[in-house]
Structure 1
Amino acid sequence: MANPILTIVVPCYNEEEVLPETVFRLSAILDGMIAEALISADSTMLLVDDGSKDATWQLIDRFHEANTFVTGLKLARNAGHQSALLAGLMQAKAYSDCVVSIDADLQDDTDVIREFVVKYREGYDIVYGVRQDRSSDTLFKRATAQGFYKLMTSLGVKIHYNHADFRLMSKRTLDEMERFQEVNLFLRGIVPLLGFPSTQVYYDRKERFAGESKYPLRKMLAFAFDGITSFSVTPIRFVTVLGFLLFALSVVAAIYALIGKIVGANVTGWTSLILSVWFIGGVQLLALGLIGEYIGKIYKEVKHRPKFVIEKRLLAPAALEDAPAPPASSYAGRHR
């Protein structure tokens, strides 16, 4: 088979501290695979600036001028990690045979990319990067992550355990994924739905090379909740079941009260009454909030707003033939 054109897509948000090392390592990986004739010499990396507030885009522009591997996308605003990643994947598929996605923080092992390509050449359309273990995580993060994966599985969502967004996808899988039009993106759940031949490559996750994590606890919880509500209606069904259970309990309580009245027993004290009122009121608010969450997702979907807006493109000359034509002012020429 002809050597495939590979693009490595890297979402970036305020990554000026780590970006020089990221570009250096990925360039070395691409150089090595080209020398081994595993990939085409037209292979590149695509750095997607997700509305960074630091010098991330200036660095991408500078690297693009000096490094033939570096291409870039600048989103007009911060669209979020999943949308930025999708923007890069959809751009790269226009001129690539396969695409690898990896975060800029260098926690995922860049050396594993070579194994991804080997698996792709063996006939796999999707190659998942899966962590060997979570020994490097804190006890809290390990417990919450394991709980999340178990919960998603129990809700019927097909998701790969200990896999984030470090994966290889072939062009035909990306073509099919483009047909998934939902605004509420959870790519870890969408990719397994494609059903193409897939395999896993295991690796050890490292510490972040530089800078601060862009996923604090608040964002991690929001991301997990989005994943659950985007792929399962089980929470709504749980509320329904809970409603039936409370109704059954209320019937039992009513019978108990009637019997007490008949036999002349007086029930005194407000504690049980107040607890019941607060409990039922809390359940009702929870149910309304959950229903509102789903209605909010429907509201976002029916608007059909674009998931991202691309402000600038810095592409390789060969890629410009297949890529959508950017505005005249958005392309900066190369200087070799």
Structure 2
Amino acid sequence: MPIELTCSQCGRQLRVPDASAGKMARCPGCQTINQIPASAPSSPGMLSPGLGSLGANPSGLGSFDPKPLEPLPPQAFPTPTTPPAPTAPTWMPSAGAFSPLPPAGHSGPATNPFAEATPLGESKPGSNQPFSFAPSAANPYASPGGGFLPHQVPQQAGVGQGLPWELSMGLGTWFETLKLILFEMNEAFRRMKPTGGHLVPILFFLSCSTIFWTYNLVLQAGMGALQAGGGGDDEFVWEMLSMAFGMGILCLLMPIFCYLGAALLHGCLYLVGGANLGFETTLRVMAYSLGGMCIVAMVPCVGSCVFFVWGIACLANALMEAQRCTTGQGIGAVALMIVVLVGSAFVLVVGALALNSLNAFQN
């Protein structure tokens, strides 16, 4: 009978004649060479479960008739199923976990139910403490001067959207910026950019100072013409030309005066503890304030008085809005600057008088 064997590579059932026993055979499917058994199985049949069938098979192993494997039916493989959709958590906060909202019309400090003070002033969930800069047992590192108003110490001090002149330099934006400085100074310096270069504010101040000196030159020329009464025309012309030359030199020196004034003001502000931003912010404050003061000084009759009072108020409010310092720090810095200027002028005058007296005594 033919000999049946299984390919060792692909598992295919092979059948060869008896004469090929003990030889090599190539699988027609995978071309693998397989060893043919020396002899075929003794007899077909299945292994008998009983011991009585061992007479035909002394080895005790029943013979069987190999058959090709048949594929399993589709029902034998499980059908993949879609995993169930996740369900919403059933956890809910317990009663009293959060503080109730304040009633309508509540005027007390706003509380945060999720904040808790720590030694450094941060917060943790689960607290009901209002935020404050004031020193306390929970925050020993707070400022000893007490709390600041919210509009005075924001998270980012001095950040503004920019004055119209800063956004686009032109005649229209110049008038809009001047209007804000003269009539809405707090809003003007709240909108002023704390940084962005020195050129833009210096140009605004230079334009205002040029208008101021031109106005004074025209005013002096008119008064001189009235006093001349038609005589001494050449002398009057030369006098006006010399005055125009001097005012032109002053216009060119005005930016230097602005830088010196800003340096003095920033130093005074630093001494009172209100210099929250750098020198550039103080320079921009000084340039825009002095520009407005030049225009105010042109008011007939009362211009000099209004110039002084309005200038002090403008500088103090500008520092509070731009440097975000307190009211006392802004006023204190301006007052200290005036004391330094007046004191310096007094020393110079006394020194000049003493020098003249000494010269007169020697002569």
- Pairwise TM-score range, normalised by the shorter structure: under 0.3
- Larger RCO: 1 or 2 (CA < 8 Å, sep 6+): 1
Q: TM-score, normalised to structure 2's length?
A: 0.21
TM-score by length of 1: 0.22
